[in-house]
Amino acid sequence: RKEVEQDPGPFNVPEGATVAFNCTYSNSASQSFFWYRQDCRKEPKLLMSVYSSGNEDGRFTAQLNRASQYISLLIRDSKLSDSATYLCVVNDSGGSNYKLTFGKGTLLTVNP
Amino acid sequence: NAGVMQNPRHLVRRRGQEARLRCSPMKGHSHVYWYRQLPEEGLKFMVYLQKENIIDESGMPKERFSAEFPKEGPSILRIQQVVRGDSAAYFCASSPGLPSDEQYFGPGTRLTVT
């Protein structure tokens, strides 16, 4: 099983659509969870951290299910500028709280 | 407030040459992390350094790769005798005072080996 596995995508949606990304992770000891976005040929940028209680930031909602080792990201009312690759990232805590493990990413294209 | 800086942004090397990638962390950050992103793959952790110390190099290939973060100057990731499989984007990240998963990424260096 891959350490962090994401929907392969790509996702093509019209502006205004709601889109959901899923992610599973294999290390049950992982402590921290994040969604990053990566624009084409650019560096990853932190979109939001993911907390057990779930959290929302504007049009973005993240959920974590520790029992299922599952993370999700929901984007509502999608904009053209949301087009990017979304990376699920997990802190590989085996004693090291700095080692981030990245999924391969899911490409989202929002069409006018 | 300058972010993490990496140079060069693009580097082309022929097989067998050496590649040197440089990373200057954000001001006030003393922890540096290097990640590699192969084509169509996720970023993979390579090494974690503090000033003058390699803390964790568990993700570094055993041969040809080395990293340093001297007391003065940028962190350097060095790849000797490059091969085509080394072609990738190399990202550096930094964090403030403590080792942390709150990491800020630089723009990356895209290495192409011909």
Q: What is the pLDDT of residues A82-93, one digit of tens each?
A: 999 999 999 876
Interface touch A100/B45, C-beta < 8 Å:
yes
Residue A41 touches chain B, beta carbons under 8 Å: yes
User: Could you give the CA distance from residue A2 to residue A87 in angstroms, rounded to a whole number?
Assistant: 14
Q: Does B100 touch chain A (CB under 8 A)?
A: yes
CA B12 from chain centre, in angstroms, equals 16
Of A84-88, A105-109, B25-29, where does mean pLDDT reach its minimum? B25-29
Residue B87 tokens read as 């072609």
In this complex, is the C-beta atom of A42 within 8 Å of any C-beta atom belonging to chain B? yes
Q: How confident is the model at residue A99 (pLDDT cuts 50, 70, 90)?
A: confident
Residues 43-102 in A contacting B (C-alpha not used; CB under 8 Å): 43-45, 87, 91-92, 96-102
* The pLDDT of residue B102 is above 90: no
Mean pLDDT of A18-45: 92
CA–CA distances in Å: residue A79 to residues A29, A41, B94, B114: 35, 20, 30, 39
> Do A44 and B33 lie within an 8 Å CB cutoff?
no
Q: Tokens in use for A61?
A: 């909602």
pLDDT at B26: 93
Residue A17, Cα to own-chain centre: how many angstroms?
A: 17
Distance CA B55, CA B48 (A): 6
